[in-house]
Chain A
Amino acid sequence: MGKINENTRSEVKEIVYKFFSEECEVDVSTISENTNIITDLEGDSLMFLELIEIFKKKYSLNIELKTIAKYIIRHPVETIGQLVDTQMLMIEHENNLVNL
C-alpha cells in the first residue's frame, strides 16, 4: 500500500488512454472518462488482462486476478473513468481491494 502520489492518477490515465488508443486503433483524443470500453472501444477480456498485467508490473503489485474479479462484481467497470478509478484502488490497496 501507499504507492500513490500526486502524479499517480495522471500516470495511470495516460497508460490507460494510450493502451486503448493503440489496441483499438483510435486517436487518443477520442477517448474520454465517459467512453464505454465495450460499446465504444470494443474492449474484450484480452485487453483487460493485458492492462492488469501492465499495472502489476509497473507498480510491482501484489494482487491476484480473483481479487480483482471479486471487486469488479460489486463495482462494475464500464467506462474509461471507472477503469482509471479501479486501477488507482488496485495500486493503493492491492489484495486488500476485496475488502473495500
Chain B
Amino acid sequence: MEEVAGCGIDIEELSRFRTRLPSPEGIPGFAELVYTQEEITSNLGSNSDLKFPLCFSCKEAFFKALGVSWMNSNISWKEIELLFSDNNNIFDYKIRLSGYARELFEKMKCHNFESHLEFNDEFVVFQIVLLS
C-alpha cells in the first residue's frame, strides 16, 4: 500500500511574473536562475504567461514536498523541471527530477508522486504528493 511521504502546495500570483517571463526577445536574469534551457524552450509559445508561473510554482511545491528549500539544501531550482508536452493543453506535462532533487526523492524511499495544478486569471496553484 502506498504511503504519503511528503506533500507540498504552492500558490503564485500571475501579476508578479509579468516582468519576469522569458520571451523570444530575451530571457530575464531571474528566469536564467530558475528555469533550464529545455524548460524555456518547451514553455515558450502559447500560454507561456501561464506556463512559466506554473513551472515556478511546481518547483516550489516540490521543494515543500521534499521538506527543504533552495536556501537550506543542495538542491538547485533546475533539478526540478516541469515540461509541457502540448502547447494548447496546460494539463499535459511531465515533471523531471535530477541531481540532488532525485537523490533526496530516493533517499525518502519515494517511488512515485502525484501532481495537480489549477489556475485562474490571477493565480496558479500546484500540488505535489510524494508516495513511498
Lowest 6 CB-CB distances: which A-B pairs, in order? A53-B29, A53-B30, A72-B71, A65-B33, A69-B70, A73-B72
Contact status B30-A69, CB under 8 Å: no
Contact status A46-B71, CB under 8 Å: no
Contact status A45-B69, CB under 8 Å: yes
Minimum distance in angstroms from A22 CB to a CB of chain B? 12
Contact status B72-A49, CB under 8 Å: no
Determine if B102 is an interface residue (Cβ-Cβ < 8 Å): no
Contact indicator per residue, chain B 70-95, by CB within 8 Å of chain A (1) or not (0): 11111011000000000000000000
Contact indicator per residue, chain A 55-76, by CB within 8 Å of chain B (1) or not (0): 0110000000110011011001
* A interface residues, Cβ below 8 angstroms from B: 45-46, 48-50, 52-53, 56-57, 65-66, 69-70, 72-73, 76-77
Contacts of B70 in A (CB 8 A): 45, 65, 69
Contacts of A76 in B (CB 8 A): 71-72
Q: CA separation between A53 and B20, bound complex, in Å? A: 11
Contacts of B29 in A (CB 8 A): 53, 56-57
* Neighbour of B34 across the interface among A49, A56, A57, CB < 8 A: A49
Contacts of B16 in A (CB 8 A): 46
Among residues 16 to 31 in chain B, which have CB atoms less than 8 Å away from a CB atom of chain A? 16, 20, 28-30
* A-B contact sample (10 more), CB < 8 A, given A50-B20, A73-B73: A46-B12, A49-B30, A49-B34, A53-B28, A53-B30, A57-B29, A65-B33, A66-B74, A76-B71, A77-B71
Minimum distance in angstroms from A56 CB to a CB of chain B? 6
